[in-house]
Amino acid sequence: MQQRKAELTSRVLQLKSTLLGNYHDLLSQKAGWIESLNAITNETIGVLEIKDAPGWRASEELKAASDLIKEMNGALKEFKKRDFLSITPKVEDLKVVYKWIETYNVPHFYFQVFFDKVYGISFKKILELISNPELEEDKYFIGDEDSKNQNKWTVKIDYKEGKEVAFKIDMPEHQSIMKKLGRGRLLFHVKFQGGTAYLDVNNLREVLGINQNDF
């Protein structure tokens, strides 16, 4: 993911340099284009509003500039696509959890277990994020009919919005088990044994809102 971002950044900045170097006089006659190009930097690429590519065709020079802008816009759009690992609650589950908290006043937390680490986030923070539409497409995405989650609507939250509560995981051993049922039926399942998560206790306390003196 980092390599992809770096390659796209390099390409966008290269196209910006070509446009300003070879077509500056031409673009200065078109309102706003010099300012828009100058606004593109390493820091702004991920948040920059993309200006639609023009359809200039009056001359070969205009057409070449227009094609370069189109290519740059394509790279900017590609850069903005979601490419982070996510904490992924289902939208329908959020409604149920909210009702549960409203009824019983019990705090809830989500923990996303990856192959090497575990991240945690409070339900309260999830609501704070998704209630701010300005953060959509940046810190979270709304996914419709996610095939990995029974085709349910999901909220994909950047894992960095959570806290790393386990910095290492030892994967468990696993084996296939067969169980004989009545009338000759067979049930197969996977049995796990062992496995360890190495907790960052301070981060876990922070996620759960527990002071050290409370232990």
pTM, 2 dp: 0.61
Q: What is the mean pLDDT of residues 114-140?
A: 91
User: In one letter, which amino acid is 73?
Assistant: N
Q: d(Cα 27, Cα 49) in Å, to the nearest integer? A: 19
pLDDT at site 81 = 73
In sequence order, which residues have a C-beta less than 8 Å from that of residue 139 and are 6 or more positions away?
129, 157, 158, 161
Contact 153, 140 (CB under 8 A): no
For the cut 70, the answer to whether the pLDDT of residue 145 exceeds it is no
Contact 144, 118 (CB under 8 A): no
Q: d(Cα 31, Cα 39) in Å, to the nearest integer? A: 14
Q: d(Cα 16, Cα 41) in Å, to the nearest integer? A: 9
